[in-house]
Amino acid sequence: MAKISGSKIIVECLLEQGVDTVFGYPGGAILNLYDELYKNQDKIRHILTSHEQGASHAADGYARASGKVGVCLATSGPGATNLVTGIASAYMDSIPMVAITCNVGNNLLGKDSFQEVDISGIVMPVTKYSFIVKDGNKLADTIRRAFKIAVTGRPGPVLIDITKDVTGESFEYEYKEPEKVSPKADISEEDILNAVSLIRGAKKPYILVGGGVILSNASEELRTFVSKTDAPVADTLMGKGTFDGSDPKYTGMVGMHGTKTSNLGITECDLLIVVGARFSDRVIGNAKKFARNAKILHIDVDAAEISKNIKAHYSLIGDARLILRKLNARLDPLHHDEWIAHIERLKDMYPIRTNKKGLTGEYIIETIDKKTEDDTVICTEVGQHQMWAAQFYKFTHPRTFITSGGLGTMGYGLGAAIGAKVAKPDKTVVNIAGDGCFRMNMNEIATATRYDIPVIQVVINNHVLGMVRQWQNLFYGKRYSQTILRDKVDFVKLAEAMGARAKKVTTKEEFDAAFDEALKSEITYVIDCEIDSDEKVFPMVSPGAAISDAFDEKDLKLNPVK
pLDDT tens column, 169-221: 999 999 999 999 999 988 999 999 999 999 999 999 999 999 999 999 999 99
508 with 359: CB under 8 angstroms? yes
Percent of the residues in the chain that have a pLDDT greater than 90, as a whole number: 96
Q: Provide mean pLDDT across the span 485-499.
A: 96
Q: Mean pLDDT across the chain, nearest whole number? A: 97
pTM, two decimals, is 0.97
Beta strands in 270-350 (DSSP E): 271-275, 295-300, 314-317
pLDDT of residue 560: 80
- Evaluate if residue 425 carries a pLDDT over 70: yes
- Evaluate if residue 493 carries a pLDDT over 70: yes
pLDDT of residue 353: 79
pLDDT band per the 50, 70, 90 thresholds, residue 562: low
Q: DSSP secondary-structure letter at 464?
A: B
Q: What is the CATH number of domain 189-349?
A: 3.40.50.1220
Return the domain boundaries, the chain.
2-173, 189-349, 361-537
Do the domains 361-537 and 189-349 match in fold? yes
pLDDT tens column, 432-471: 999 999 999 999 999 999 999 999 999 999 999 999 999 9
Q: Provide mean pLDDT across the span 518-524.
A: 97
Q: Got the DSSP string for 149-209?
A: HHHSSS--EEEEEEEHHHHHSEEEE---PPPP--------HHHHHHHHHHHHH-SSEEEEE
Distance CA 438, CA 460 (A): 9
Percent of the residues in the chain that have a pLDDT greater than 70, as a whole number: 100
pLDDT of residue 355: 77
Residue 539: is the preceding peptide bond cis (ω within 30°)? yes
Q: Provide mean pLDDT across the span 497-522.
A: 98
- Evaluate if residue 479 carries a pLDDT over 90: yes
Please identify every residue annotated as catalytic: 52, 114-115, 164, 467
Up-side HSE of residue 380: CA atoms within 13 Å toward CB? 25
Distance CA 381, CA 441 (A): 10
pLDDT of residue 464: 98
pLDDT tens column, 375-421: 999 999 999 999 999 999 999 999 999 999 999 999 999 999 999 99
Q: Which CATH superfamily is domain 2-173 in?
A: Thiamin diphosphate (ThDP)-binding fold, Pyr/PP domains (3.40.50.970)
Q: What is the CATH number of domain 361-537?
A: 3.40.50.970
Distance CA 218, CA 124 (A): 30
- Evaluate if residue 308 carries a pLDDT over 70: yes
